[in-house]
Amino acid sequence: MTAASREWLENQNRPATIIELLSWRAQSQPEKIAYTYLRHGETESGQLTYGELDRRARAVANQLQQRDPPGSRALLLYPPGLEFIVALFGCWYAGIIAVPAYPPRRNQNLSRLQSIVTNARASVVLSTSTLVAQIQNRLNDHRDLAILPWQATDSIFSPSESAPRWQQPAIAI
């Protein structure tokens, strides 16, 4: 067990939620690696520190909170990688229910995706810039998908000083 882990266990004010835990890690160990992505399970191709994950998740959460109330659902369409982790934490930070799904293949019909959105009652779709561009070109026959807001989380940056700030959602434990 590391000294930081022992310190956390001994602390009277232990984080009660995953949001509090990541926030604590981001403050106490901002440069420590939180996640490493292994392409094909073997080759390191990216890393996220606790500080970076916290900052990016708050930026995603801030965007979500401007549009959707806590308890709303977001469809997460991501290829394997770290961007999914950022979006997942962003949903948790905003109090949004994440509904992960595999992105459709280029030649695949979007009816499976339409069914997921309908069943989950998703109010927003989160994905990467590349996937949003690819899928938006195919939405003509899927009105319910076309009217949803699509947000590329890899293009969300920390809000400006004048923008509303992220607010931690009220979570009953």
Q: What CATH number does residue 75 fall under?
A: 3.40.50.980
Residue-number span of the structural domain to which 143 is assigned:
3-155
Q: Does the pTM of the predicted model rise above 0.85?
A: no
Average pLDDT over residues 155-161: 66
Q: What is the pLDDT of residues 38-80, one digit of tens each?
A: 988 888 889 999 999 999 999 999 999 988 999 999 999 999 9
The residue with tokens 């067990």 is: 1
Q: What is the pLDDT of residues 98-121, one digit of tens each?
A: 999 999 888 788 888 989 999 999
The residue with tokens 């030649």 is: 107
Rounded Cα distance, 173 and 157, in Å: 30
Q: Has residue 135 been placed in a domain?
A: yes
CB 127 within 8 A of CB 26: no
Q: Has residue 45 been placed in a domain?
A: yes
Q: Has residue 7 been placed in a domain?
A: yes
Q: Has residue 13 been placed in a domain?
A: yes
Rounded Cα distance, 168 and 24, in Å: 14
Please state the domain count of the chain.
Answer: 1
Q: Has residue 171 been placed in a domain?
A: no
